[in-house]
Amino acid sequence: MSTREIPRDEWDSFFDSFSLRHQGWLVTVEVLGADSGAQVEAKQMPLDGISAELKRRGEDIISIFIGRKPQEHLTHTIHAPERVWLKETEYGADEVLEIESESLTTLMRFRSAMLPEMVDGIL
């Protein structure tokens, strides 16, 4: 497995591309905090997309949109993100997206890590 950091100046384009490649994929979102431990916010829900609102360091916002129906929709917002990491399998498939802020780490895990071209056209 390899891990690479996504530079802040690439977050907009990275999340746009990432969202297009993985829209509809089932994800689990976990939040890890020093005080609260691990909390699951969403389990096996379809990814709608991820966006970054870049203002200036300490005021940036990253939003993860999950779910299809309004009553099943969830927006997880990360305030003041500091670092974004993408962990890939040995075959280059995206496995975990990790977003660190000062006090929390958000992990978005895929149900199964696959190369996007292996699931193209499957709903």
Dist. CA 52–CA 8, nearest whole Å:
10
**What CATH number is given to the structural domain containing 91?**
2.30.29
- Tell me the CA end-to-end span of the chain in Å, nearest whole number: 27
* Confidence category of residue 123, pLDDT binned at 50, 70, 90: very low
Question: Which structural domain, as residue segments, surrounds residue 68?
Answer: 2-113
Instruction: Please indicate, yes or no, if residue 120 is contained in any of the structural domains.
Output: no
Q: Phi/psi zone of residue 57: left (φ > 0), alpha (ψ -120 to 50 degrees), beta?
A: beta
Mean pLDDT of the chain: 88
Note the pTM of the prediction, 2 decimals: 0.84
Instruction: Please indicate, yes or no, if residue 118 is contained in any of the structural domains.
Output: no
Instruction: Please indicate, yes or no, if residue 81 is contained in any of the structural domains.
Output: yes
* Confidence category of residue 61, pLDDT binned at 50, 70, 90: very high
CA–CA–CA angle 7, 99, 58 (5° rounding):
70
Distance of CA 58 to the CA centre of its chain: 19
Instruction: Please indicate, yes or no, if residue 53 is contained in any of the structural domains.
Output: yes
Output the CA–CA distances (angstroms, integers) from residue 64 to 90, 94, 106, in the order listed.
25, 16, 10
Instruction: Please indicate, yes or no, if residue 121 is contained in any of the structural domains.
Output: no
Q: Number of folded domains in the chain?
A: 1
